[in-house]
Amino acid sequence: MNKPIRTMSIFCMLLFAALLLNTTYLQYVDAGSLNSRGDNKRVRDAEFSRKRGAIVAGGSSVAESVQSDDAYKYQRVYKQPRKYAPLTGYYSYIYGRSAVESSQNEILSGSDPRLFVNRVVDMLGNSQPKGGSVTLTVDPKAQTAAYDGLRALGRNVEGSVVALDPSTGKVLALVTSPTYDPNRLASHSFSDVQKAWNELTADKNRPLLDRGIQEVYPPGSTFKLVTAAAALSSGQYTPDTKVKGGASLDLPQTSTDLVNENGSNCGGDPITLTQALEVSCNVSFGDIGLRLGDDALRAQAEKFGFDQTYLNDLPGQVKSRFPESPDEPQTALSAIGQFDVAATPLQMAMVAAGIANNGTVMRPYVVDEVQAPDLSSLEKTSPEALRSNAVSSSVARDLTQMMVEVVDNGTGTTARIPGIKVAGKTGTAQSSPDRPPYAWFVSFAPADNPKVAVAVLVADAGVARDAISGSGLAAPIAKNVMEAVIGK
């Protein structure tokens, strides 16, 4: 063989080897990432031609695929779309997926490795692969109560409701408002989908935003539960400890006083820690924050889950936060949930749930079980403790009794349920001068055997400033959700 032919042969062999290596890499190493890319039209066409699995809540599907007579054979349909949108998310040819449609896509589309045998059987039977189903943890009655409660305040009210099972972390309800109809984004008419997307993304009320997990707000007086937990855990306070009351607290390093809502004096000076929580006394908790210091408050907040993400089933969760290095006046304001303290409704539900669960904060989860197309179980979620020592069991008992006093005799009487002890805390948080305050309520019930913990946020109900309060706007919704879960 002469030299030119030998050189050409070696070159061709190298090209062939490179082709084999590249093919092997694409088929066995990079296939997963390529298949999961949202702009992979071949994969999207294949997925849209399959029967995608159902998303189930309370034994009934809230999202399923039905046969269609167009090129894609199946149409994704969302039942009760606006109510379940923050959980199901959307499934769109153009704009991809969100929420459970995204996090459980491999199961729903049938591409999960655990469905390999099913795919082989389908291939041998010359039929399209089918997707598995996903069962949510949601209690439909609680979800309906939460949804109806926010809707009663107005179609475009800004708010969210999150309910948890304190002993397991199951998300029993997750509602956000304003919401949207995911059917519009699942349409096979791409011009209609484009129009719907443009409307939703241009809407100043941001209906695609899940306000339960993707936005933080000043928690206001509901954060006093964290301050009270830090105080009791320090060993320096009991529920009967006398704390500063009165009408104002001199903020150090400033010429400003911290005052109470409506200029009240909290019933005296001094007052007990229980009374301070019962009437939500800013002066008391501002002073306690100064005495404990920001490190103790931050540590307690982090034990409840602040500065972490912990919800794996829904993408986009943002961290709740306690400020890094507040000075003394900022620490006093932080102790009452103002300054730069910010929390999601999910986070404040976890504070209530941790107290309800004797100090153990469970990791929240939305997916209860995933099943193969033949309904055999592939995986069932096991409850997991996020923090087992957020507070001691004795501190949890003290906080529970103090929260019961809030509902029985204090600012949370609108959450009372006849025959049931309810533990709760109201909050009204200042935001900025150009927008109304936020109304909060966090609670759990029954207080002596908790089945449900709830956080309700109403960020803007379009009512007059003097009509905004946690007791007036948020607590009645929490009450309805608790009643739905405990069957009252």
Cβ contact 89:183 at 8 Å: no
CA separation for the pair 428, 452 (Å, rounded): 22
Selected catalytic residue, list 103, 187, 221, 284 = 221
Cis peptide bond N-terminal to 476, omega within 30:
no
Bridge-based pairing of strands 133-136 and 158-164 is unpaired
Question: Hey, what are 120's tokens?
Answer: 């082989």
Name, in order, each residue with C-beta under 8 angstroms of 292's C-beta and a sequence gap of 6 or more: 227, 230, 231, 234, 335
Q: What is the DSSP string of 171-202?
A: EEEEEEES---THHHH-S-HHHHHHHHHHHHH
Specify whether 221 is catalytic. yes
Please work out, in degrees rounded to the nearest 5, the angle formed at the alpha carbon of residue 219 by the alpha carbons of 215 and 225. Answer: 135
CA separation for the pair 329, 294 (Å, rounded): 11
Torsion of CA 147, 149, 151, 157, to 10 degrees: -110
Strand ranges (E), 3-104:
55-57, 60-67, 74-78, 91-92, 96-97
CA separation for the pair 355, 423 (Å, rounded): 10
Dihedral sign (CA 197, 201, 206, 208): positive
Active site residues: 221
